[in-house]
């Protein structure tokens, strides 16, 4: 397993939509392991392959929230949200926007169809944090980012802060 570099906004690759996964096997399973190690080290509750420069339709989520909760890693390959019910606001963060937390409105309950890393199909209904994480990570696969859910003024402020951070990081390298 290896920790991969997470792309930070405004990296243009974050806007590239993921392509469907057609091959399942050891390489995909290794990528899932690398993504899990990367997500846990960050730490985060979700990570899309597009966030580490892999333009495929794959994301992982683990919403276990502390030492008392056992890890519950879920793998979503070629996901499709087929049903959304209600609305909820949630303060979201994103590994591609370090230090940024914003209120985002999303569906309260979602039903998602996907495959696991072995290619087996499944359907899952989720609510609460899991529903939010699924929608957030699925957005990444479509090239849509958390910032796109914000009003114009908040979007400009976040864009400016992240652009300054990117310039500072580039100067430090």
**pLDDT tens-digit readout, 84-98:** 999 999 999 999 999
pLDDT at 168: 86
CA proximity to 162, closest of 149, 173, 146: 146
pLDDT at 170: 83
CA proximity to 104, closest of 142, 171, 63, 158: 158
**pLDDT tens-digit readout, 31-90:** 999 999 999 999 999 999 999 999 999 999 999 876 677 789 999 999 999 999 999 999
Contact 74, 165 (CB under 8 A): no
**pLDDT tens-digit readout, 129-172:** 999 999 999 999 999 999 999 999 999 999 999 999 988 888 88
pLDDT at 67: 67
- Residues 8, 97: Cα–Cα separation, whole Å: 6
CA proximity to 58, closest of 15, 104, 2, 114: 114
Query: Residue 95, class by beta-carbon neighbours within 10 Å (0-12 exposed, 13-18 middle, 19+ buried)?
Result: buried
Q: Which of 92, 102, 117, 137 is catalytic?
A: 137
CA proximity to 119, closest of 19, 21, 1: 21
Domain 12-172, CATH among 3.40.47.10, 3.30.870.10, 3.40.50.2000, 3.90.45.10? 3.90.45.10
Domain limits, the chain? 12-172
Q: Does the annotation mark 137 as catalytic?
A: yes
- Residues 92, 154: Cα–Cα separation, whole Å: 14
């Amino acid at each position: 397993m290896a920790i991969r570099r997470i792309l930070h906004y405004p990296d243009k690759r974050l806007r590239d939509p993921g392509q469907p996964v057609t091959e399942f096997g050891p390489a995909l399973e290794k990528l899932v392991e690398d993504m899990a190690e990367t997500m846990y080290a960050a730490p985060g509750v979700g990570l899309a392959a597009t966030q580490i420069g892999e333009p495929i339709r794959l994301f992982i989520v683990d919403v276990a929230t502390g030492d008392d909760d056992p890890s519950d890693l879920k793998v979503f390959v070629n996901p499709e949200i087929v049903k959304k019910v209600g609305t909820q606001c949630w303060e979201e963060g994103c590994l591609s926007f370090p230090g940024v937390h914003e209120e985002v409105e999303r569906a309260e309950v979602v039903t998602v169809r996907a495959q696991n890393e072995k290619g087996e199909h499944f359907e899952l209904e989720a609510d609460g944090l899991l529903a939010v994480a699924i929608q957030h990570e699925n957005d990444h696969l479509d090239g849509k980012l958390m910032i796109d859910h914000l009003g114009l003024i908040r979007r400009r402020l976040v864009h400016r802060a992240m652009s300054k951070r990117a310039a500072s990081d580039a100067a430090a390298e």
